[in-house]
Structure 1
């Protein structure tokens, strides 16, 4: 019997910066051992180009990603739901692990302001991988 791999949903308001960077790190660092989803309560039209640039500096390309609307199904299908400033817009389902990561919003910021946000997300994702795959 094979155990299904854990799944993580990253949620922020626009699904254009923080949640996309977190999903990019989890795909990259998790090596396919964790299912990754990201969504936004009010998705933007496109991903934040500065977030793309910041991730490319570390060799991770998220330029093909697109903001997606948060659905109850996506949350229901995930073992861990990580919110990043979406407040009450995030659905809550009993039995899920929820974490709220307090992170600055990279929207409208230059690359120098986005790098520390990216680095904090990378550290949190690395910790999360350790907890899930321990």
Structure 2
């Protein structure tokens, strides 16, 4: 490890090496972790960067592991991409994780990520029971794009990635940046409606399962 990243990042590496033992070498884990740390700089949350780099690296490693021989993905992975990863894509990923109850793996990223999630976005997500303590903007990486089953783009235009074999969907959703809470709530609800339709496609049996559980 680079000496300027401190013992906390070294502890993160040890955690990830153990978690991905038998999947990736320690050298690969170290490379992804250090690259994740570097990609998150500069940031106003610098004191938390080792922890955020660990979470970012874990997301990348999980996505990359989906492409390895003999490792069948049990859950679909949906990647949400916008420009800053501070508003729409964060809301979409958080709402899909909530509504799918863990049946869908989610990720989000920005083509030009901001240094923090919008306060209003955190507020309206908390209103519907979403914990926002672990949300932070992340840059787009090849591992997550390649590992995604569905890539949902939201206002990033030509800067959004296009890879063969991925399913791409573009959602025409208003940008909540600099908007008041009522507007951001409407954006949240619009995204939530899209999420419901997407879940019907990804998990067609979920309605029947829920109905059976009520009998």
TM range (shorter): over 0.9
Aligned position for 2:167: 97
Q: CA RMSD in A?
A: 1.4
Relative contact order higher in (CA < 8 Å, ≥ 6 apart): 1
Partners of 1:111 and 1:29 in 2: CA distance: 22
Partners of 1:35 and 1:98 in 2: CA distance: 16
Q: Which structure carries more helix by proportion? A: 2
Aligned position for 2:112: 42
Secondary structure of 2:106's counterpart equals strand
Q: Which runs of 5+ in 1 are unaligned?
A: none
Secondary structure of 2:191's counterpart equals helix
Among 117, 120, 129, the residue aligned to 2:187: 117
Q: Which runs of 4+ in 1 moved over 6 A?
A: none
Aligned position for 1:85: 155
Q: Which structure carries more strand by proportion? A: 1
Partners of 2:110 and 2:73 in 1: CA distance: 29
Q: Which runs of 5+ in 2 are unaligned?
A: 1-71, 205-215
Corresponding residue pairs, total: 134
- Higher Rg: 2
Among 28, 31, 52, the residue aligned to 2:101: 31
Per-residue CA deviation, residues 53-84 of structure 1 (Å, 9 max, x unaligned), is 01111111223210000112211110000000
